[in-house]
Amino acid sequence: MPELSFIEIVLSIIAALMLLSLVVMFVALIKKNKIYNELEKNQSELVGRLAQMSQYASLEQNKISQAIAEQKLSLLNMVDQKLLQMTQNVGTGLQQSAAKTNETLINLRERLAKIDTAQQKISSLSEQVVSLQEILSNKQARGAFGEIQLHDLVVSALPPSVYEFQCVLSNQKRADCILKLPNPPGVIAIDSKFPLESYQALRQASTEKEKSDAERFFRASLLKHIKDIAEKYIIAGETAESALMFIPAESVYAELHANFTDVVQESYKARVWIVSPTTMMALLNTIRAVLKDVTMQKQAGIIQKEVGLLMGDIKRLDDRVENLSHHFEQSARDIEDIRVSSTKIVNRANKIETIEFEEKDDKSLFQNNEAV
């Protein structure tokens, strides 16, 4: 902007000079010499003034150039400072961003490691679930699975003398487990198989017809299983009047009591009690408490018998102490008599000793008289 102002000034001066020249020429043409002289004088003054104006303009231009240079230098210094500050800020920001990025990468690496570990566990669990499904899909393996679960429950709750696994009854039927309880109820047989195929068909049914068919199949399978248990494991005079059907799946047990109450009622009529792992553990704990009470009753009889014998021993001891007391009293009297006798003996000995002394005194007196 200052340079443009100076140019305008110069252009204005040039324009003024040209205008003045025209005016001078015009005046010269009109007034000739006098006017020409005055014009020359005025022109000289104007030239002097123009020279002054030109000098002033030059000085102003130098000042403006110096001010512009100073402003440029100040602006450059300011720009350098801003650039340095921006560089420092950018460096600090980059360092902080790098630190945060490094921390984020470390956390991400740790989370990925945890995810890998969890994925490995999930893979292992999936393999175990697949293995469990394979076990449950095989009837023999499913029976073994139920037997193992029943075995763990019984062993953890009862003493070894109360149970027996894979026991063959008098009808040549093999029970998965029997509980040897005192009469009543006596020996209780437990079967650990369950109709999983019918339950899976019930769970997989999608239409109403499939569900209805699956329910009929499930009901028929359970009723047949209950009938088989009642015929195999309830033997008059050998086992109790009831048996247990162990279902090692809480879902089957819940489904049975929720939607198949008629089957449960039939099991009651057949005296086949359906138990799950939870109810089986409660039943075993109850049996353990009953056995403990029976044992305590037996021990109470033994203790009562022993207490009777102990009372006889105490009576005999009392008689013997009484006899001994009589002996002690007789001994005390004998000792008292002995003490009296010893006292008399001591007194007599003292008297004898006194007599001896008196004889000695008489002899000494007799000797003295002879000397006189």
DSSP 154-220: HHHHS-GGGEEEEEE-TTSPEEEEEEE-PTTT-EEEEE----HHHHHHHHH--SHHHHHHHHHHHHH
Burial-class residue 359 by CB neighbours within 10 Å (0-12, 13-18, 19+): exposed
Picking from 23-37, 175-189, 354-368, which range would have the lowest pLDDT averaged per residue?
Answer: 354-368
- Residue 144's pLDDT band, with cuts at 50, 70 and 90, is low
pLDDT for the residue 124:
66
| Boundaries of every domain in the chain | 1-69, 158-275
Alpha-carbon Rg for the chain, nearest whole angstrom, is 67
In the DSSP assignment, the letter for residue 138 is S
Q: In percent, how much of the chain has pLDDT > 90?
A: 2
Half-sphere exposure of 316 (CA within 13 A, CB side): 5
Sequential DSSP letters for 218-266: HHHHHHHHHHHHHHHH--TTTS-S-EEEE-S-HHHHHHHHHH-HHHHHH
- Residue 24's pLDDT band, with cuts at 50, 70 and 90, is low
Which of 11-15, 40-44, 64-68, 285-289 is most confident?
285-289
The answer to pTM > 0.75 is: no
Sheet holding 163-168, edge to edge: 163-168, 174-180, 187-191, 243-246, 272-275
Is residue 165 left, alpha or beta, with left meaning phi > 0 and alpha meaning psi from -120 to 50? beta
Q: With the CA atoms of 188, 192, 197 and 200 taken in that order, what torsion angle do they form, in degrees rounded to the nearest 10? A: 100
26-53: average pLDDT: 66
42-71 b/e (C-beta count within 10 Å ≥ 16 → b): ebeebeeebeebeeebeeebeebeeeeeee
Q: In percent, how much of the chain has pLDDT > 70?
A: 77
CA distance 189 to 169: 10
In the DSSP assignment, the letter for residue 372 is -
| 194, 248 contact by CB (below 8 A) | yes
User: At 363, which amino acid appears?
Assistant: K
| 145, 248 contact by CB (below 8 A) | yes
294-316: average pLDDT: 72
- Residue 127's pLDDT band, with cuts at 50, 70 and 90, is low
The mean pLDDT value of the chain amounts to 76
CA distance 181 to 162: 7
User: At 36, which amino acid appears?
Assistant: Y
CA distance 315 to 294: 31
Please name the residue that has the structure tokens 């027996």.
164
pLDDT for the residue 111:
80
Tokens representing 83 are: 């650039």
